[in-house]
A and B are shown apart, each in its own frame.
Chain A
Amino acid sequence: MADRRFVLAAQLLLAAALLALWQALVAAGLLDPFFVSRPSDIARRIAAWIAEGTLWRHLGVTIEESVLGLVVGAALGIAVGFALARSPFVGSVLDPYIKMLNAVPRVVLAPLFLLWFGLGIWSKVALAVTLVFFVMFFNTYQGVRDADPVVIDNVRMLGATERQLVRHVLIPSALTWIFSSLQTSLGFAMVGAVVGEYLGATHGLGYVIAQAEGTFDTTGVFAGMTVLAAVVVIASAGVSRLERWLLRWKN
């Protein structure tokens, strides 16, 4: 416990030191604020956004897109992963196609999604889904295939039907993989949403950052990035807690 508090204190200290260094270098004239802005300006900008209410509007849209992307991507990934792991024939037939699809750089898909789903949230959700899906798919597939054959035999001997086998062994076994990939998926969902916004949107943090870049407003860019980073840190802390609780049996 004391150990964890110590780590946290050191982490905060490191952040404070880096920010102070940044601020000092700009103040001393060694760094040009036009290119790198400065922490005090960034903090003021974020405070202004909060005061105007623009922050919540844009952040709300980004979070909505990320959550939708995460949920839809996870649902599809888990369902397909399960189906393919349970039927090896279909699994081996589709294997190269899945690898091929996963190799497509998502950025090139963004304009297509804009065309198909419009400027609103759904083109961003779609982009997030393409990222989350594969993480969830591979982990579910692996998790089901990885289920201990001895445990499966044992449960069958104890009288399990196929359906009970899925429920008591295959799903829990896959869940351990799925949960450990939740952190990655969450990050990917946000990346998908923000990149989508960046390439064409009317709302969202990605849109804010793109706008700021368009006017060489580095303070705006850094402020957007800071907000994004803060959200990811908070969300992943939540996910770790959930993961620790759900996988408590792992010890």
Chain B
Amino acid sequence: MMIQAEGVARDFQTPSGRRYRALREVAFEVPAGAFVAIVGPSGCGKSTLLNIVAGLLASTSGEVRVAGERLEGLNRRATYMFQQDALLPWKNVRDNVSLGLTLAGATRTDAHGRADEWLARVGLAPFASHYPAQLSGGMRKRVAMAQNWILDRDILLMDEPFSALDVHTRQQMETELLDLWAGRAGEAGRKTILFVTHDLEEAIALADEVIVLSAGPESRVVARHPVRLARPRDLLELRTAPEFVELYRELWAVLRDEVIRSRRG
């Protein structure tokens, strides 16, 4: 198992000083090389859970194990793709992509050489000297993708990375993500991806397994469902395939109740 969460709970202090329990007894595991999606209504603590797995946030109780070892501090086996823009606006595209290598002490030439390889791979070679502000939303996501993948860590954590994009760019990015994931199945095997989204369609289309979180407060795992759709998947056709629709209906039955609960709460 690459990621194991056991009894993970997280409390927050509300402005009025009361305790708000965002997560309660969350348990799940992600096998090495698997693509697992976490869905849940908005405000259910999905991002909180991902931040705990990243080590950016400490859990109040419970533990996360990464490759069998208890996670203390930042998760050094993972990179993280954020929902918001997380590129450094004062660095150009090439310096943004090579940042992780630079931080690890790579020489400038080496880091830039590898950054250029990645830029070619995500189709941004002509934009190496541009600054993020000069790029479109989809291009910035590609830069972020290259910035994450260049480090070649085992785990990729993704927090609604494409939710701010228009529907077509989004589908394009999802396809590119799956291609990268399948294409980089080198010596160490595929990367393990934990992908948070509020969009059940996206979750089913991309993942090997969908985990449904309940509405907050005290979110927990209410359903886990394997997705046995064949790969490679054609995301343009997949959504109308009978197996997809079947699976969607099944999971939506669970998620719908949570969405309704979250609206009431």
Residues of A within 8 A of B (CB): 148, 150-151, 153-161, 164, 168-169, 172, 175-176, 248-251
Contacts and interface: CB of A to CB of B under 8 A. Distances in A.
Interface in B73-107: 74-76, 78-80, 82, 84-92, 99-100, 103-104
B133 A250 contact: yes
Given A153-B80, A155-B99, A157-B80, A251 B74 contact: no
Contacts of A169: 88
Given A159-B151, A251-B134, A168 B56 contact: no
Contacts of A251: 131, 133-134
B220 to A, nearest CB: 25
Contacts of A148: 86
Contact of A158 (B79, B89, B134): B79
Contacts of A249: 89-92, 131-133
A160 B79 CA distance: 12
B56 A157 contact: yes
Contact of B147 (A158, A176, A248): A158
B115 to A, nearest CB: 13
Contacts of A158: 79, 99-100, 103, 147, 151
Most buried by B among A154, A160, A249, A250: A154
A73 to B, nearest CB: 24
Contacts of B56: 153, 156-157
A94 to B, nearest CB: 26
Contacts, number: 64
Nearest to A176: B90
B84 A150 contact: yes
Most buried by A among B54, B87, B88: B88
A154 B90 contact: no
B133 A159 contact: no
A164 to B, nearest CB: 5
Interface size on B, as a range, is: 20 to 34
Most buried by A among B76, B84, B92: B84
Contacts of B84: 150
A159 B88 contact: no
Contacts of B82: 150, 153-154
Contacts of B151: 158-159
Contacts of A155: 88, 99, 103
A250 B86 CA distance: 15
A114 B89 CA distance: 46
A169 B76 CA distance: 20
Contacts of A248: 131
A157 B99 contact: no
Contacts of B79: 157-158
A43 to B, nearest CB: 45
B86 A159 contact: no
Nearest to B104: A159
Given A150-B84, A153-B56, A249-B131, A160 B103 contact: yes
Interface string B16-52: 0000000000000000000000000000000000000
Contacts of B134: 251
